[in-house]
Chain A
Amino acid sequence: MKNEKIYVRLFLFAIVLAIVLIILFNIAKPVRYVLAVISFFIVFILSFVFIYKLISAQDTVLRDSKKSYDKYISFVIPVYNEGDDLRLCLDSIENIEYPKDKYEIIVVDDGSNNPITAQILEEYSKKYSNIKIIRKDNGGAASARNLGIINSNGEIIITIDSDSIIDKDAPAKLVSYFDDPQVAAVTGSVRVLNPDRPLTKWQSIEYDIILVYRRILEVFDSIYVTPGGLSAFRKEAIMKVGLFDTNSLTEDQEIALKLQKAGYKIMATLDAFAYTRVPDSLNKLVKQRVRWIRGGIWNRLKHRDLLNPKWGNLFIFGYVTDLIFFIPFITFFLTIFLFIIDNYIWFFRLGPEVMFLSIDHFLISTLVFWIILLPWQIFMINVLREKANEQKVKIKEIFDFIGFMIIFGWAWFLVWAFVIYKELTVQGNRWETR
Chain B
Amino acid sequence: MPDMVPMSVAQPQERQFNPYSDNGGTILAVAGANFSVIAGDTRQSEGYSIQTRYAPKVFRLTDKAVLAVNGFAADGNMFVKKVKQRLEWYRHAHSKDMPLRAVARLIQSMLYARRFFPYYVYNILGGIEEDGSGAVYSFDPVGSYEREACRAAGAASSLVQPFLDNQIYFKNQTPAPGTSHPAHLALTDVLALVIDSFTSATERHIEVGDGLEMYVVLAKGSPLQGLELVQGVQEMSTTTDGERVFIVRRNLKRD
Q: Do A and B bind each other?
A: no
B-binding residues in A (CB < 8 A): none
